[in-house]
Amino acid sequence: MSSIKELLLNLNIVANNLSLYEQAFTHKSYHHVRPNKPHYEMLEFLGDSLLNLQTSLYIFKNIDAKNEGNATILRSQIVSSVSFAKISDKLQLSKYLKVAKGSEEILNNTKIKADILESLTAAIYLDQDRKTFEDFVKKILHSLVKKQSKKVIKDPKSEFQEIIQSFSKSSIKYITKKTDKFFESELIWDNKIYGHGKGNSIKEAELEAAKKSLKKLKKEFDLEK
């Protein structure tokens, strides 16, 4: 395990409270062995929200996503364990993580890699001034957002409609009802139920129905890339 000071030096960060960063790299398994060492889970909780917000702000201010659906899809591609784990690997964060002896296998876990990026983000936010925090976020996120935004991003509802309209004049509509727990939506195409979706809102339910219908359509007509 390497020194956290080495990492901070590489990130051009001078710690005001080094214990925050030590906590950010202390796994729960290590805390069980050394109870006096707080683990990173609360920092991870805060960091997750911070990265979600910062990604949303950057998309809102800098990316022409056309509509809320595209912006949501783009954000979901960035704010994910897989994307965060890749950033974590690039920064080699796993080598700074303290885990209990015999638990070293978790260092290769995608979720753990994402967790420590989130906890580090929270530590920097709490310890540094606004500019230093924003510089760090820019370093880890902005190029990834730009890269993802250059791909063709369409919300499933729009993509499904475009494909259907390319070969059919049959109408598409959504029938959505509220149940006790959530909303349920049916995508109707050619007067037949083509897909179902559930969600906490009408928009979520219809989006889920469109996603499933799009997947079915691509498989049915061999449109998978």
Q: Which residues are catalytic?
A: 48, 118
Paired tokens of 30:
């290590």
Neighbours of 200 (CB within 10 A): 10
**Cα angle value 63/64/65 (rounded, 5°):** 95
Amino acid at 4: I
Residues with Cβ within 8 Å of 22's Cβ and at least 6 positions away in sequence, in order, are 4, 37, 98
Paired tokens of 35:
């109870």
Please check if 44 is assigned to a binding site. Answer: yes
Please check if 206 is assigned to a binding site. Answer: no
What are the start-end ranges of the E strands in 86-212? 172-178, 183-189, 192-199
Residues with Cβ within 8 Å of 7's Cβ and at least 6 positions away in sequence, in order, are 21, 91, 93, 96
If we measure between CA atoms, which residue out of 94, 134, 87, 106 comes closest to residue 28? 106
What secondary structure letter does DSSP report for 166? T
If we measure between CA atoms, which residue out of 8, 10, 16 comes closest to residue 126? 16
Please check if 115 is assigned to a binding site. Answer: yes
Residues belonging to the binding site for Mg(2+) are 44, 115, 118
Residues belonging to the binding site are 44, 115, 118
